[in-house]
Amino acid sequence: MPKNREAANKLFEIAERQQGYFTYKQALAAGYYRRAAHFYAKTGEWLREKRGIYRLAKFSIADRPDLVIWSLWSADRKGNIQCVYSHQTALSLYDITDVNPAKIHMTVPRLFRKGTGLPKILILHRAEIPLSDISLFQGYRVTSPARTIRDMLEAGTMHPQDIKTGLRQAVQKGLITGEEAGKIAFPKDM
């Protein structure tokens, strides 16, 4: 039911940036009719992942589809993505410590609200994160390595020595410059 082939092409471009996933609002913005979701889900061209979130069936499932889905879940009423993955989740994505979090950590704006309850898999942190502290991954955003280290120090949920080891690994991998590392304040007793 797209208005034309142009709508399908626009939706494909959106979905391609998000590992094949898109929201109902993104489909409408691409030019689909309101009843398209029902029609395309019934034909099997769109796979419903969560309320208002779909995946084009022709896309194979990529690395960490859960992060794309939860990122889309965080969208505000205008469709703007609100979350940035942070803390232990960001550490694991950069592979700069041995941390393997059981829950997904995301930072959202202080005034973030959802009409539904918070899913048990998520831990929300609230802060306004400047664009300079955000890295773009395929379909989702992550706090920069330096910001992640600073957030972990501030949260106090990980031993500072383990965070310092993560910082050294980030420098060795070229994720953080020596100058950036020098600006991160660790407790004086370290």
Give the DSSP per-residue string, 36-91: HHHHHHHHTSEEEEETTEEEETTSPP-S-HHHHHHHHHT--TT-----EE-HHHHH
Please give the biggest Cα pair distance in the chain: 65
Answer yes or no: are the C-beta atoms of 108 and 114 closer than 8 Å: no
The pLDDT, as a whole number, for residue 190 is 53
CA–CA dist 15, 65 (Å, integer): 12
Q: What is the pLDDT along the chain (190 residues), one digit of tens a residue?
A: 445 789 999 999 999 999 999 999 999 999 999 888 889 999 999 999 999 999 999 998 878 999 999 999 999 989 999 999 999 999 999 999 888 899 999 999 999 998 878 999 999 999 999 999 999 998 999 999 999 999 999 998 888 888 999 999 999 999 999 998 988 888 775 5
The label of the residue with tokens 């494909």 reads 12
